[in-house]
Amino acid sequence: MPIIEVNNVELWVEEFGDPTHPPVLLVMGSMSQGLLWPDELVGRIAAGGRRVIRYDHRDTGRSSALDFDARPYTWADIRDDIVGLLDALGIDRVHLVGHSAGGLLGQWVALEHPERIASLTAIGSSPLGGHEGHVVTRALTGQPQEPGSLPEPKEEFVKLFTSPPPEDPIDFQIELARVLHGSVLPFDADAQRELEERLRDRDRDPATVANHQRAWAADPDFEPEGRLGEITAPTLVIEGSEEPVKPGHGRLIAKEIPGAEYLEIEGMGHTLPPEVHAELAAAVLAHTAR
């Protein structure tokens, strides 16, 4: 698969569908490879007449594994990788679909580069300016939340990160996926293990994924506050009814962005399981057709 140099880092990029169709860029969350956009979901969107692009963030998967001490960066650099990737692919305007922190990055790009975003879809995301990273940190360290802060993660998520982890890192990733998945839809632990092993095997250096946390710590107050109302891109916000990490955050995004639409998917947690692919793809296709 192609490796594209962007902002002096190498990004692994994969495309699906007809290159003449409207482009849809899929942006995954923090510390996550592009393969977490499931093949079936990607295929459904491409089959609907879209040029679909997914990629590995810097320090994940087959993209550059960096020495953070020698080349420190912040989340602004991860944001700029998106615009740089569009430039490298010759895409003037794109339909951006972001999951988790990818949705926050999408809001940031839509705010700073409105001419590049044809539409925005945020899935399982937090509102830009809400400083969700601080909320999670306080929850995991037992500190009280500040007045007016975002809703904190559910108890099962906090318990996972405050309990002794399994010895095998893949066992921990499976348990994390189980919690993120929620308790309504069936969870396939064997399929998850296969995916986790695949992700591990294609990683240039599994240790450098922690650089995303170091990037946040380098500038933890990076989010511009009070500016969601300036976003002009047509926006769709999607949240699962069983969201364990950012419960209720989607409605807050939709409330602040003018004209934004909100969709709640019954049974979905923070992952993208097969049971919701048809509904997700249909929503993205309808939104990007407007």
The greatest distance separating any two alpha carbons of the chain, rounded to the nearest whole angstrom, comes to 51
In the chain, what percentage of residues exceed pLDDT 70? 100
- Please determine, for residue 96, whether its predicted confidence score (pLDDT) is greater than 70: yes
Asked if the model's pLDDT at residue 2 lies above 90, the reply is: yes
Give the integer Cα–Cα distance in Å for 137 and 228: 23
120 inside domain = yes
8 A C-beta contact, residue 273 and residue 185: yes
The answer to whether position 170 is within a domain reads no
Global pTM reads: 0.97
Average pLDDT score, the chain: 97
Asked if 110 and 102 count as a contact pair (C-beta separation under 8 A), the reply is: no
Handedness of CA 173, 32, 73, 12 (dihedral sign): positive
Residue that is written with structure tokens 């500038």 in the block: 219
What confidence tens digit (pLDDT) does each residue in 181-235 have? 999 999 999 999 999 999 999 999 999 999 999 999 999 999 999 999 999 999 9
Q: Which of 104, 149, 95 is nearest to 123 (CA)?
A: 104
Rounded distance, CA 142 to CA 289, Å?
Answer: 45
32 CB burial (10 A radius; 0-12, 13-18, 19+): buried
Residue 122 lies in a domain: yes
Whether 249 and 150 have beta carbons less than 8 Å apart is answered as: yes
The sign of the CA dihedral 34, 38, 42, 43 is positive
Instruction: Classify residue 16: in a domain, yes or no.
Output: yes
Distance CA 261, CA 254 (A): 6
Domain of residue 79, residue span: 3-132+205-288
Instruction: Say if 197 falls within a structural domain.
Output: no
pLDDT in tens, 33-83: 999 999 999 999 999 999 999 999 999 999 999 999 999 999 999 999 999
Segment 39-49, tens digit of pLDDT: 999 999 999 99
Query: Residue 133 and residue 21: Cα distance in Å, rounded?
Result: 36
Please check whether residue 107 lies inside any domain of the structure. Answer: yes
Tell me, what CATH number does 264's domain have?
3.40.50.1820
* Whether pLDDT at 1 is above 90: no
Number of domains composing the chain: 1
Q: Does 22 fall in a domain?
A: yes
Q: Identify the weakest region by mean pLDDT among 5-9, 164-168, 233-237.
A: 164-168
**Secondary structure class of 99 (helix, strand, coil):** strand
Evaluate whether residue 152 is within a structural domain: no
